[in-house]
Amino acid sequence: MLEMYLFINPLGGVCYQAEKNILQLMQDATEDVRFRFIPLLNMQSTQDVMKLKKLPVNDLAARNQLVSEIYRASLDFKAALFQGKKRGRAYLLNVQQQMNNRTSPYDDEVALKAAKESGLDEEMFLHDRQSDFAAHSFMQDQKMAAEMNVAHHPTVVLFNVSGFDCGIAMDACDSYDVLTDIFAGRSPQDLVEQTCGQKTILNRARTPLKIKFNSNN
């Protein structure tokens, strides 16, 4: 079975489109795929978002506010997932869609609107978003990202791909054609020959090989 991890910004419009693309691919996949959307928050991803928003990277106040928003949104996403993966993903997409059309910061209004429209139990959601379990789950996600050397979002990581002796990490924005092949059971062997054969030990350490390729998407 394929394992797929998509590391995302829970407030990001770019990640929103990547998630939509992957969910569409999942519907047409002939391979069995176990997948997760994982919120990512680190120094590099924060700097990436600041540049995208055209914020001065040395603006400490703006950086702190951004980190706080992404952290809160990540915990809320984890809380939504506690009520089921499908509802959790629906919550995530709803939040990102709202934020794409919004200039003000992420707040409870956005979170509660998404919770309601995603069919969450509001009382349970409000409790879980404040829980130690949500915070611990988020920290485990960051540990996993560090172990996989994931620094940017959206990054997609795949394991157990036919023909590959190691995990694969790639920019989710540029990966549509490659993922289409993989989900259909077709391995892009040219990528394996170029890079994967050099360090087959990567699979043992679960540190994916990073692949770059040209794409029209």
Q: What is the pLDDT of residue 27?
A: 82
Q: What is the pLDDT of residue 49?
A: 94
Q: Using CA atoms, how far apart are residues 31 and 172, in angstroms rounded to an integer?
A: 19
Q: What is the pLDDT of residue 188?
A: 60
Q: Which residues of the chain have a pLDDT value below 70? A: 174, 187-217
Residue 175 buriedness (CB in 10 A; 0-12 / 13-18 / 19+): buried
Q: What is the pLDDT of residue 198?
A: 34
Cα Rg of the chain (Å, integer): 18
Phi, psi torsion values for 5, nearest 5 degrees: -125, 125
Sketch the domain layout of the chain as residue ranges: 1-217
Q: What is the pLDDT of residue 189?
A: 52
Q: What is the pLDDT of residue 187?
A: 65
CB contact set of 14 (below 8 Å; sequence gap of 6+):
52, 154, 173
What would the pLDDT profile of 130-166 be if each residue is shown by its tens digit? 999 999 999 999 999 999 889 998 898 888 877 777 7
Q: Which of 59, 56, 85, 66 is nearest to 9 (CA)?
A: 66
Q: What is the pLDDT of residue 114?
A: 98
Q: What is the pLDDT of residue 199?
A: 33
CATH topology of domain 1-217: Glutaredoxin (3.40.30)
